[in-house]
Structure 1
């Protein structure tokens, strides 16, 4: 892949505004608990990973991670979160996903590497928790749409207290 630094990278290249629109739309879907629509933003070979706080560069093939979902497990997570079986999220929490510092890191053909920073606020039962960190994405152009092939949410917090757990989708 090639690094994209120039403001004008050619007519075939994806524009940062298009990438930002996708990431902001993803945040909106999560905040509105439109989880089926959120899952539809992912390719069939998707990966969604959240490493542990003490090993941000963890390889899910050999290291323990908090979340290691393929598309099948991602869809199962969505179904569970929408049901009463998700005790920590039933009734579901109010969330606000904030996405900033979106950068196109590299692009090759229809595959785009993107990084961004996030803060996610979770409000439930008179309590507010927050998660702060960096997203790493690989996006893929499929027809006219940009879809998420890979999403990694690396938390900057050294411990999960005060949040205690990751029961929402970052």
Structure 2
């Protein structure tokens, strides 16, 4: 990919690469997909436009915090994810805008299946991205995941990266 030649399929391939890194537990490589000022947020269920200063987000990470999260989840001391869950991520209904601008916006529905200890959890929702070109490739400036769930049952927690 060279500057100004990003096409829709390049963006879709980038999303699929992100999903593959997460499914393969290559979390440090996943964190490297973000810009130095990148953010990753998951607002509370039922409050997709919640204000972070007034609401408790599940995740509200800047670049250094998401790197720390990735490194922590890879350690044996992260008992909830050791051994690691098996996950399968799917992205659907991908809408790409701004291919010829400085910021490419992407919205998609997602389904993440997680299996661990003979239990399958399903996370569904909508992800939105702001991608930019950097070093002749795409990187994530911002990622927001909105869960379309009534609650986090049966476990009441998110122990993996969505």
Measured against the shorter chain, the TM-score band is over 0.9
DSSP-derived class of the 1:158 partner: coil
Matched, 1:154 2:131: no
Among 21, 28, 43, the residue aligned to 1:29: 21
Partners of 1:96 and 1:144 in 2: CA distance: 28
Contact 1:117–1:134, Cα closer than 8 Å, also in 2: yes
**Residues 105 and 58 (structure 1 numbering): CA distance in 2 closer, same or farther, change over 3 Å?**
farther
Partners of 1:16 and 1:61 in 2: CA distance: 35
TM (norm. structure 2) is: 0.93
Q: Note the alpha carbon deviations across 1:25-64, whole angstroms, 9 max, x for none.
A: 0000000001111111111001000011121111224322
Partner of 2:115: 123
Contact 1:46–1:71, Cα closer than 8 Å, also in 2: yes
Q: Any gaps of 5 or more consecutive residues in structure 1?
A: 1-10
Partner of 1:101: 93
Supply the RMSD in Å over aligned alpha carbons.
1.6
The alignment of Structure 1 onto Structure 2 pairs a total of residues equal to: 160
TM (norm. structure 1) is: 0.88
**Residues 36 and 109 (structure 1 numbering): CA distance in 2 closer, same or farther, change over 3 Å?**
same
Matching of residues 71-150 of structure 1 within 5 Å: 71-106=63-98, 109-150=101-142
Q: Displacement, 1:94?
A: 0.4
Moved over 6 A (4+): none
Contact 1:130–1:163, Cα closer than 8 Å, also in 2: no
DSSP-derived class of the 1:165 partner: coil
**Residues 106 and 164 (structure 1 numbering): CA distance in 2 closer, same or farther, change over 3 Å?**
same
Q: Any gaps of 5 or more consecutive residues in structure 2?
A: none
Partner of 2:55: 63
